[in-house]
Amino acid sequence: MKERFRSQLAAFFISVTLIDLAIFILGCLLEPDLKFGYEAFAYPLIYGVIGSLPGLIMYSKKELTMKQTIIREIIQMLLIVVLIIAFMFGRFRGIEYDVFPQIIAVAASVMIIYVLVNFFGWLIDLKTANIMTEDLKKYQAKASGKNE
């Protein structure tokens, strides 16, 4: 559980950074003249929290197979897309076609951010795996000298 919390926390901070970047890029492209107040600083954090919530469904006491893990990752990504869009565009009650390009842009951004968060998480894990492999080699050399 502790490891899971650490991993979720790392994912949250990577998400906030990438959301900040996505807001900057999308804002410049779609609404370059829009001005915000100080509350704008809170949005990446709010979106980060929303994006982290579906991570709870990934928690399973069972050892998931690779197939189950991939399916859960996809469900989690789609859930984040729905939650973020609901939060951002929830105020539009009827169908307003003019927000569709924004919804598509946001959905695409969320998916890109999701993939990037996983990629950066994988890079951190790669570093850990390399350190573990080095330690393993030392362990094996030491054990071979002693036991075999």
Q: Under the criterion CB under 8 A, does residue 126 sit at the interface with another protein?
A: yes
Q: Mark out the alpha helices in the chain (DSSP H runs).
A: 2-30, 42-52, 66-89, 100-147
Rule CB under 8 A: is residue 139 a binding residue for another protein?
Answer: yes
Q: Which of helix, strand or coil describes residue 66?
A: helix
Indicate which single residue of 30, 53, 69, 115 sits in contact with another protein (rule: CB under 8 A).
69
Tokens linked to 64: 């998931």
Instruction: Give least dist CB 126 to another protein, A.
Output: 5
Q: Which is nearer to another protein, 79 or 99 (CB)?
A: 79
DSSP summary character for residue 148: -
Q: Which stretch binds another protein (CB under 8 A): 21-29, 42-50, 92-100, 117-125?
A: 117-125
Query: What are phi and psi for residue 33, nearest 5 degrees?
Result: -95, -5
C-alpha span between 43 and 146 (Å, rounded): 58
Q: Which residues bind another protein (CB under 8 A)?
A: 1, 3-4, 7, 58, 63-64, 66, 69-70, 72-73, 121-122, 125-126, 128-129, 132-133, 135-136, 138-140, 142-148
